[in-house]
Amino acid sequence: MSAASAASPLHHGQPAAVLINPQELADLEDALALAQYRARQAPGEATGVPHEQVRAQLGLGHAS
């Protein structure tokens, strides 16, 4: 096996492994979430959740 093929993330033409910095992964996940939100927002599918409802769902009670 050559050094070039050993460094390749492909095995028999299929993805085998990808190494990524944890911060880069977090940044990519944030960018994906924002893009998905904007895609839902465009046709009016995105809706907000009232602050009090979120607090209740998390068991935090009423804001003081």
Contact 61, 55 (CB under 8 A): yes
- Residue type (1 letter), 62: H
Dist CA 34 CA 41 (whole Å):
10
Percent of the chain predicted with pLDDT > 70: 80
| Tens digit of pLDDT at every position of the chain (64 positions) | 444 444 556 777 787 787 899 999 999 999 999 999 888 888 777 778 889 999 999 999 765 5
- At residue 45, the pLDDT reads 74
Residue listed under structure tokens 């050094």: 3
Measure the CA–CA gap between 12 and 52, rounded to whole angstroms: 52
Q: Tell me phi and psi for residue 34, to 5 degrees.
A: -65, -45
Interatomic CA distance for residues 20 and 26, integer angstroms: 10
